Every structure is written in structure tokens, then in C-alpha cells.
Amino acid sequence: MTNDSFTEPSAVQLAGIIRQQVQAAGGWLPFDRFMALALYQPGLGYYAHAGRKFGAMPASGSDFVTAPELTPAFGRTLARQVAQALQASGTDEVWEFGGGSGALAQQVLQQLQADGVALARYTLVELSAELRGRQQQRLAAFAPHVAWADALPPQMQGVILGNEVLDAMPVQLLCRRSGVWHERGVGLAGGPPSAHGAQTFDWADRPTDLRPPLQIPGEHDYLCEIHPQAEAFIATLAERWQRGVAFFIDYGFPEAEYYHPQRSGGTLMCHRAHRADADPLAEVGLKDITAHVNFTGIALAAQQGGLEVLGYTSQGRFLINAGLFEGAADWGLAERAAAARLVNEHEMGELFKVLALAPAALQQGWLPSGLRVGDRTHTL
């Protein structure tokens, strides 16, 4: 069972809308526009419909697992970093972007409450009305202190959390063929709208002046992503955020590793029923579409906007520094195994990174405990 409450006729409807957009654009749609429609079209896009996305096992009808779905130890540990950041920045608000099922918010709020941390408000910035409804149900016990928004406010302060949010922002695709750079977009394959997209969409490349941020040595064919939307999001955040600390946790690499000559197929990936594939043009609306994060680009966008990069490290190092395994002697085997997945370098521990940012006004020299050992900022 996958994507309950989202039927193939609904996917056909989404494919029809995207087909109309391709036709209106003259037969070629940039991939970032296609990705935005596939993920966020109201009521029909992957994150906008009622199908279940988040869960630890395929039997639940879910498509992929995130750290807070895997174990509440993730949120408990992050909550202690939030508490340190609230104190250091003199703020009493938390903003979470891309709150998913609400699991992380629930874990953070429970731990802050248990530790006696005063919090004026926890705001989830959520574009999906369907996910917002699920979050509201899950967080009902914290209702007086929880709010929702669908956009950044003109001004804000507080601690910012973004767990697996940057990877879901639409990307542009660039490909080099026979030494010539093209932007890869989406055209029509000639068939009628289909839930699986097999007869509906096809790749279409156009010569472009766009380039990846690093020169790719050699003349071999090469496919990669660029991330103007994620970088623009950080730039806007920098304009509107006065005080606090931000923690962005996601899978990705520094720029030199992201655009390595041997990474010639890019990082674009789709997820459905806990299986991965690399074809976003099939099963449109029925599966997630993601790209790894270029953390160098995010850090540069932050610095150009006046923010400070407090630190950058692997998720495994961050969580161990932050005390993930404190009290583990009382855990059962299942909880220990789940926590180990968060830090194991062959699972989430190394692929996932943590980038911490702050307005320059933060007290000089302060670091959250998760970043005091093993910093990798020099690799960005």
C-alpha cells in the first residue's frame, strides 16, 4: 500500500496540468518548474495530497523515513541544541521549515517542556495544507504555543530548524553533451496524460549560458544540478532574520565533492515505498523528488546576506557531540539500533550534514555543543 487517499486518476489530473504548462511554455518546461508542480501543485502535488509520505517501514504505506520518524532520540537531542541557542541568542521562539508529519516539532516541544525551557511560540512554516492538518492534529497538546505560517514574515527572530527541507526545493538541471552545456527541461512524449507519465513526458535539452559553480574538467558527458531556489531562500532569510541560530540538516556535500568530475550523473533521486529510482518523469505526483544539497552554495548565500557560518559537520559527529547516547543504558535494543543508524557513517551519519548559521549580532565565539568537535567548515 502506498500513498493512501491519492488515486491514479488524481495523478492523471496532475499530469494533465503539467502537460498544459509544457504546451503553454512552447513545448519546453525548465525542470525546476516541473519539479515544483510535481511536488507542490495544490491538492495534487506529492507534498500537497493526502497520501502518507513519512514512516519507518513500507508496510505503513510510507515512502521514506526521516530521522525524527526513525527515533525520538533525534528530536530530544536537537531540542537541547535549541535550548542552548535560545539562551545564547536571547530569543524565545522556534521556526521550523518543512515540518513533515510534525514528529520533530513534537519531540522538540516535549523535551523543551521537560527541561523547563520557556518558549513563547513554535511556528511551522508549511506550504502544504494537507501536511499542516496532520501537524495540527499531532501537536494539539501544545496548541497555545504552536502556530503555522505559509511564508516567511517580514521580520523574524528565534531558532530556525530545517530538517530535510533544502533537498526538496526545486533545482535546475545542466548537462554537458559533446562539450556543449545544455539546460535539461521537460517536453511532451506525444502520449495522453498518464499516472505513470511513461507516455506523457520526455527529457528535452536546450543550449544554455548557465554553468555549474565549478568548472568540470574534461569533455565527458556530465549531468548536475544547480540550486538557485534554495540559495534565494537563504538570501531572503538573511534579510528578515534579526537574531537566533539556524540548524539545517540534510544530505549533501561541499561544492568540490558535489561537482566532482566522477559524479557525472548528478544527485537527482525519487522515492516511493522505500525504493529509490532516478526517473522523475514517471509516476508524477506519486513519489518524492529530491536533489542533494550543495552546502558551499548555501553557506556562500548566507555570508553574502550578512549571516555567519557557525559550523558545518556530519550529522553523526553533531549528534554524538550533542549527547545523543546519554541515557542509552536504559534503552531497548530497537531504540539503540535506530539511534545507531543516525550516526553510522554507512547510513545517515556521514551522508547527512549539519550547517549552523546566525546573524552576525550573535555573541562572538559561541558554539552549540554539537559543533565544538569535528568542525568541517574549512571544506566548504
Is residue 3, in this structure, part of any structural domain at all? no
What are the Cα distances from residue 311, in Å, to 152, 255, 301, 345, 378? 24, 16, 15, 19, 9
Question: What's the pLDDT score for residue 193?
Answer: 61
Which stretches of the chain score pLDDT less than 70? Answer: 1-7, 52, 54-62, 191-199, 361, 363
Question: What's the pLDDT score for residue 10?
Answer: 86
CA angle 210, 211, 214 (to 5 degrees): 160
Sheet holding 275-277, edge to edge: 275-277, 269-272, 288-290
Number of folded domains that form the chain: 1
Question: What's the pLDDT score for residue 339?
Answer: 95
Question: What's the pLDDT score for residue 49?
Answer: 83
Q: What is the span of the domain harbouring residue 299?
A: 8-379
Q: Which residues make Cβ contacts (< 8 Å) with residue 333, sequence separation at least 6?
A: none
Strand partners, 359: 307
Start-end of H helices in 271-332: 295-304, 315-321
Question: What's the pLDDT score for residue 7?
Answer: 62
pTM of the model as a whole: 0.94
Is residue 144, in this structure, part of any structural domain at all? yes
CATH code, 270: 3.40.50.12710
Is residue 2, in this structure, part of any structural domain at all? no
Is residue 1, in this structure, part of any structural domain at all? no
Question: What's the pLDDT score for residue 57?
Answer: 58
What are the Cα distances from residue 44, in Å, to 49, 172, 279, 349? 5, 22, 19, 33
Location of C-alpha cell 492523471:
12
Q: How far apart are CA 380 and CA 376, in angstroms?
A: 8
